Chain A
Amino acid sequence: MVRKVKPIWEALGKLDRRWVYLFVSLSILFPLLFPLNLPLTVTKHVKAVYDRIENLPDTSAVLIAFDFDPSSIPECLPMAISLCHHVMKSGKVLIVYTNFPETGPIAERVLEPLAAKFQREYGKHYVNLGFKPGNDVLLMALGSSWTTSFPKDFRGNSTQEMEIFSRFPSYRHLSFMVDVAHGATVDFYITIGLAQFGVPLAAGVTAVSIPQYEAFVQTGQLVGLLGGLKGAAEYEKLVGTKGKATRGMDAQSVAHLVIIFFIFLGNVSVVRNIILKNISAMRIKK
C-alpha cells in the first residue's frame, strides 16, 4: 500500500507543536555545550547605569534593592551580582534590602563572597537589611530614617550602632539607587524615591517589563535600564566578569533565530492557505 505524503506546506500548517519544543530545546542545548562566542554589544541604557556608578564620588552610598523572588532568579540575580560587584569594587558604600520576604538569604549569598573578594567591612562599607513589609509606605518611612524601619539588619545586628547609618541616616542621603525587580516595585521608587526624595534611579527588570519601563528612560526619570538576561550579560561585560548571563546569551540568540524561523514558516503556511481559499472561491463563482 502506498502511503499518501502530504504536501510540505499543508504538513507545516498541521505541525505537531512538540517538534517546535524539540528544536527550541536543541537550539538552547548546543550553544550551552559548544559556545559560539557571538558578539555582545553594550547598549547605551546599560552603559548609562555603569557610568553613573563609576563616576560617583567614593564617599557615596548606593542602594540596590533585590526586588525579585526565586521565579525571576535567572534574569534578576546575574544583574544583582554584577551591580553589587561594581559598587563594591569601585569603593562606594552599598546598602541592600528587599521587598520580598524570601530574598534576604539570596542577597546574603551574593554579598558575602564579594565582600571577601574586595575586602569590604560589614556595617561600614555594606549592609544587608533584609526584608520589611510595606512597599511604598516603607519607602516613605525610609525617607526619614533607615534605623527606625530596620532596627535590626538581616543578620540580627542592631543597625543603630552601624557606621554606615551615621553617615547615611536616611534614603534621602543616597547618591543613586538601582531596583532589580521582577514586578512593579520600580513604580514606587519613581513616584516616591525619585519624585519626592530626589534620589536618581535606574532599574534592572525582567525582559517582560522592558517595554513598560523604556518610557521612563526616554523621559529621563530612569538613568538607565538593564533588561532581562541580555541586560545582565551586558553589565557582566562592563564589570569584566563572565557569569551565567554571558553563558546564556549564545543560547538565547540561537533560540530566537529558531523561533523566528518557525513564526516565518507558520505565517507562510497561513498566507498560502488564504490565497488558495480565495482562488478556489473565485473559480466557484466563475
Chain B
Amino acid sequence: MIGTWVAAFFTLAIFSFLYRDNPIYRLAEHIFIGISTGYYIAVQWHSVVKPNVVDKVLLGDYLPLIPGVLGLLLLLRLIPKYQWIARYPIAIYIGVGAALNMIQYTQGFLIAQIQGTMLSPTSINNLLIILGTLTSLTYFFFALEHKHLSKVSKIGIGFLMLSFGAAYGTTVMGRLSLLISRFDFLLFEWLGGMF
C-alpha cells in the first residue's frame, strides 16, 4: 500500500515537468538518481563481484583474482598520475572483444545479411530489398565524388529516410507504451485500490 502511494507520488512528480520545471520534479529526479546508483552498486556487488571473485578466492580458487585486479586497474583512470595503467585492462578487453566479435559478426551478421539480399527479382518486395540495399550502399560509397552517382545515391537517401521514418514511428509507439503503463498503474493500481 505504501509502495503504491510512493510510486504514484513519484510518477506524478515526474509528470509535473510536462507543465514546467519545478522543485517537486527536481526532488523526484534527485531521489531517483541517488536510489538507482545505490541500488545498482549493491546489485553489482552481490551479483557480480562477490559470487565471482570474493567467494571463489575465499574458497581457494585464485584465478578470478586476475580479472578482479584488471577491473580494479580501470579505476586508476580517476587518478591523473596513474591513469596510463588503466589502458592495459582496456587493451585486453578490446583485444578479446574484437577477436570474438570478428568471427561471430562476420558469420552471423555480414554473410547472412548479404545472403538475405541475394534474391530473385520476381516480386515487388524482393525488388525493393535489392534496390534499397544497393542504392543505400551507394550513398555510403565515398571513393568517388557523388556527382557521378548522384541520382542513384538520391534514391538511397529516399530509402534511408523511409527507414528513419519507421524508426521514429516505432520510437513513438514505444514511448507511448511506457506512458500507457504509467496511466494504467495510476488508474487501476493506485486510484483503483483506493475506491
Hey, what's the 0/1 contact readout for A66-89 against B, CB within 8 Å counting as 1? 000000011100000000000000
| A contact face: mostly helix, strand, loop, or mixed | helix
Interface size on B, residues (CB 8 A): 38
Hey, what's the 0/1 contact readout for B110-133 against A, CB within 8 Å counting as 1? 001101100000000000010000
- Find B43's partner among A21, A102, A218, A229 (CB 8 Å cutoff): A102
Number of A-B contacts (CB under 8 A): 119
A32-B187, A192-B104, A195-B104 known; A133-B52 Cβ under 8 A: yes
Q: Complex formed: what's the CA distance from A244 to B180 in Å?
A: 10
Please determine whether A248 and B44 come into contact, CB atoms closer than 8 angstroms.
no
Q: Does B183 contact A (CB under 8 A)?
A: yes
Nearest CB of B to A161, in Å? 19
- Find A188's partner among B104, B173, B178 (CB 8 Å cutoff): B104
- Chain A interface: which size bin? 35 or more
Q: Whose C-beta in chain A lies nearest to the C-beta of B115?
A: A219
Q: Does B100 contact A (CB under 8 A)?
A: yes
| B contact face: mostly helix, strand, loop, or mixed | helix
Q: Whose C-beta in chain B lies nearest to the C-beta of A259?
A: B172
23 chain-A/chain-B pairs, Cβ below 8 angstroms: A18-B19, A28-B180, A32-B183, A32-B187, A73-B181, A74-B178, A101-B47, A137-B100, A191-B105, A191-B109, A192-B104, A194-B108, A196-B107, A207-B177, A209-B170, A215-B116, A221-B108, A229-B177, A229-B180, A230-B173, A251-B176, A255-B176, A256-B176
Interface residues of B (CB under 8 A from A): 18-19, 39, 43-44, 47-48, 52, 100-101, 104-105, 107-109, 112-113, 115-116, 129, 163, 166-167, 170-174, 176-181, 183-184, 187-188
